[in-house]
Structure 1
Amino acid sequence: MRALAEPCLIWFTRGQGRITVGGLTRGYGAHNAIFIPAGVMHGFDVGPQSHGSVVFFGRDCPFTLPDTPQHLRIRDATPQAELTGLVEAVLRELDGSRPAGMRAAELYLGLIGVWLERQTVLQTNEAQSSDAARRLVARYSALLERDFRLGQGVADYAQELGVTPTHLTRVCRTTCGRAALDLLQDRRLYEARRLLAETDAPVKEISETLGFTSPAYFTRAFHARIGKTPSDFRKAG
């Protein structure tokens, strides 16, 4: 564990391990960028396959940098290539003999600061969007559990949640890999299977209890999802 008097950016391009920054330990992998402000204690394991670069911004850094540690997982090839190219440009200027090399290196450091700011904003927005999506699907699930017997469609639930059916379906696919209609139908048909197996209620009554528009529609929906008609399912049980 150590703390530096200047901010730095660690850019892992290969391998994996664990890094502790400010008392928080997380795993890192290829194309992870970890920004550490000056004075923040940190330390990390370096495995035999680990490879990367550390960029130091200097004690009197004139650039705008984050005030808090950042752990950025860069999944897209374009920003990966951008950062790698900027780090290589700094090295070329420092190792070369061209005029104004030090000033050019400092300017490239400024661009790295811009890259860092952009990626921090993007990933913060993604995290907030992901949190909002999880909250929306949780609310949808709660409404399903409360009202799945009422025969409402996805559009009805979406209206109650204040979103469009398309958005609700998209968010459900993102968070759990299933469409909003699939979740609704699965909940209704699970209850149908339970009633068929555990009660003697007629198929027509079960259909009405679960809000299907008709016994025929219930039978078609049940057969399409379960592979048997409700009557055959009850006989098999």
Structure 2
Amino acid sequence: MAGGTLRPSVDFTDCAVAPGGWLWVRPGQIHRYVLDDLARARGTIVIWQPGFVLADPPFDQAPLLPTGPHARAAGLALRHLAHEYADLGSLPLDAHIQALRLLLSVLLLRLAHARPDPVSSAPADDTFRRYSAALERDFRTSHRVADYAAALGYSARTLTRATLAATGSTAKQYLDARVLLEAKRLLVHTDATAAEVSRTLGFREPSDFAKFFRTRDGRTPLEFRALARGQGRPTAGPRLSRAASPAPPCGG
């Protein structure tokens, strides 16, 4: 952010991005913004296709406000990246693309090491990366850490140690949070009933899904849907109307 303050909601979590701050939004995340903020805020959005660079940001996605040398280095990396992006004609296309990859990697590495929290800034190891990828693929069919451990050739304890180091959560907490997030996305951004969401996410019975949701969110699925859509308490009826489309993407 170069000026103003953004107060976005990313996957139902409200946050604030102050001047000089950065916010990472991953593909597939739902994000919304306050319209008045967008009218006043100034900043740079950096968007790229998955796989364009190898460098990864930390898994902790809270807004980041670099200070001191980290702020100066991140600002310089962003300016250099923006300059290279605009200077399309002075290099052959392949060289131009490679320069963008390298400069973007520098920016991401700078931001990854600008957060003081050692859990946030620690690079995720291969064990966690494999678990995260398997979970993203199979969380709709398996809700047990033991299943992922067996498939990947690790013990459940090993997965928990790796997940704690990368995210600060246990392997089970990380798995449950992903299932809960998908449930919230489906409840707010589709017209699926709670029973349909339950089946989509691999629960044997709608009652199991309702218990899972209420234990972790404190509300029933329909209570959450009604409040998230600004409709107050849920009312009787087969389905609720479709939610508004999410706001356009944001980045750096």
TM-score, structure 2 as length reference: 0.40
Q: Greater relative contact order (Cα 8 A, min sep 6): structure 1 or 2? A: 2
The structure where strand makes up a greater share of residues is 1
Structure number with larger C-alpha Rg: 1
